[in-house]
Amino acid sequence: MNIEHTLSLLADMISLILDHPWILLPVVVVVLVCSVLASPAGGASSFRDPRRTFTGAERREAFDRAGLQCEHKSILWRRCANTPTQGDHIYPWSKGGRTAMSNQQALCPFHNSRKSGSVPTRMYILRLQQRRRRYFPDGTSPLVEWRSGAAQ
Give the per-residue SS3 of 102-143. Answer: HHEEEECHHHHHHHCCCCCEHHHHHHHHHHHHHHCCCCCCCC
Does residue 152 register a pLDDT over 50?
no
pLDDT value at residue 26: 82
- Going by pLDDT thresholds of 50, 70 and 90, the confidence category of residue 133 is very high
β-strand partners of 40:
121
Beta bridge partners of 105: 88
Cβ(44)–Cβ(96) below 8 Å: yes
Question: What is the rounded CA–CA span in Å between residue 43 and residue 58?
Answer: 26
Backbone angles phi, psi at 38, to 5 degrees: -90, -5
Exposure of 4 in the CB half-sphere (CA atoms within 13 A): 0
When pLDDT is cut at 50, 70 and 90, the band that residue 149 belongs to is: very low
pLDDT per position as a tens digit, 82-130: 999 999 999 999 888 889 999 999 999 999 999 888 888 888 899 999 9
Which pLDDT tens digit goes with each residue over 40-77? 565 555 567 788 899 999 999 999 999 999 999 987 88
- What's the confidence (pLDDT) of residue 11? 86
Among the listed residues 116, 137, 138, the one whose alpha carbon sits nearest the alpha carbon of residue 72:
116
Helix (H, G, I), strand (E, B) or coil at 40: strand
d(C-alpha 113, C-alpha 76), whole Å: 20
